[in-house]
Amino acid sequence: MPQHLVAFIVLQIVVLAVFSIGMIGNAAFWLGGGIAPGRDASPWEKLRFLAASAARVFDRRALVEISLDWLLQRRLLRLSRLRWVMHLCFFWGFVILFFVGSVGLMLAERGLLSIAKDDPWFAFTNDFAGGMLIFAVGVAMYRRLVLKERQLRTGPGDIAIMVLLAGIVLSGYLLEATRLISREVPGEIGWYSFVGYPLSLALRRLSLDWWAVEGAIWWVHVVSGMAFVAYLPYSKLVHLIAGPLVIAGGTLSHGTLSRPDLPATKVAGNASETRPRRVVRRLTVRLRADFATVAAVLTARQRPGGSSIQARDDA
């Protein structure tokens, strides 16, 4: 077996292990919450409760709400058009790149789909989705570092996520450009990659071993993607996993539910606490609050009345 393939497999195993440990830790934090205010239960009771509640996601009305509030980010549109566009570009850019660019090519390599990198629709879609993600990262950095909006708390983890996402997309564009050069793809085919092809025209002037360059950039692209996957359970983005459950739980046959009154969570600290411990503790509090919100909303689904759940401010 080639050494690069061995290294790739080992990297996948390590990333899967780190990701799994993080998700198991998140599940433990979530199960530390209560089913409802003033009501506690064992971890197994909470698991059964969530398993039964998850089936409600497929309710017809819940599917409509999920489509509007999760896939189309309707609630953010009511709060801010800039935030709505940013989240929409981030969500759909990532989804398209993952399912079309990554999963699609993987299935094509196994003969399950008829897809080629130079297919016009495939080349255009990947470059367009990458542009959506870069735009979203740029807006997020502008809001956090330039506007410094009060509801946003920017830490090293937020910067790391933005850098990883930008690295994935930019290395992908470079990888496409070097592939077009090394394989001498003609312009009438290559121009569908409306970012990669112009970049390849600019790079052609350099006298380089483009096969070797392509291999090096491929590793940069892979490592960036793997690092993002490994870090995902430890970042703020992990709370997005609860989105469909919260939306489905807030949907009734008579309308939407109000969010049950949850006790305010204050993150306390002390002067002697180290930064890593403080970060872990704050993430723990955040995740417990997420579980409490999901569980309480799903429980309250049995009670009518109220207004819909509002979108999180720290986004």
pLDDT over 50 (residue 305): no
The domain ranges of the chain are 3-300
Rounded CA separation 199/170 (Å): 11
> Of residues 68 and 194, which shows the higher confidence score?
194
User: Does residue 49 register a pLDDT over 50?
Assistant: yes
The gap between the terminal CA atoms of the chain, to the nearest Å, is 45
Say if CB 178 and CB 217 are below 8 A apart: yes
Residue 4 confidence (pLDDT): 79
Q: Which of 122-131, 137-146, 228-237, 288-297 has the lowest mean pLDDT?
A: 288-297
303: which DSSP letter? S
- Residue with token string 């930064």: 275
Average pLDDT of span 150-174: 90
**Average pLDDT score, the chain:** 76
pLDDT at 131: 96
Return the pLDDT at 87. 86
pLDDT tens for residues 129-150?
999 999 999 999 998 889 888 8
Asked if residue 173 lies in contact with residue 134, where contact means CB atoms within 8 angstroms, the answer is no
- What's the pLDDT score for residue 195? 96
Q: What confidence score (pLDDT) does residue 53 get?
A: 64
Of 54-63, 76-85, 253-262, the least confident:
253-262
Structure confidence at residue 270 (pLDDT): 46
Higher-confidence residue: 309 or 294? Answer: 294
pLDDT of residue 246: 56
- Sequence letter at residue 200: S
Query: What pLDDT, on the 0 to 100 scale, is given for residue 213?
Result: 95
Distance between CA atoms of 242 and 69, rounded to whole angstroms? 13
Q: Which residue has the higher pLDDT, 88 or 70?
A: 88
Give dist(CA 109, CA 113) in Å, integer. 8
The answer, yes or no, to whether residue 269 has pLDDT greater than 60, is no
| pLDDT at position 276 over 50 | no
Query: Given a cut of 60, is residue 156 above it in pLDDT?
Result: yes
The two tokens of residue 5 are 């393939």
What is the model's pLDDT at position 72?
Answer: 77
- The model scores a pTM over 0.85: no
At residue 81, the pLDDT reads 86
Residues 6+ apart with CB under 8 A from 43: 31
pLDDT exceeds 60 at position 278: no
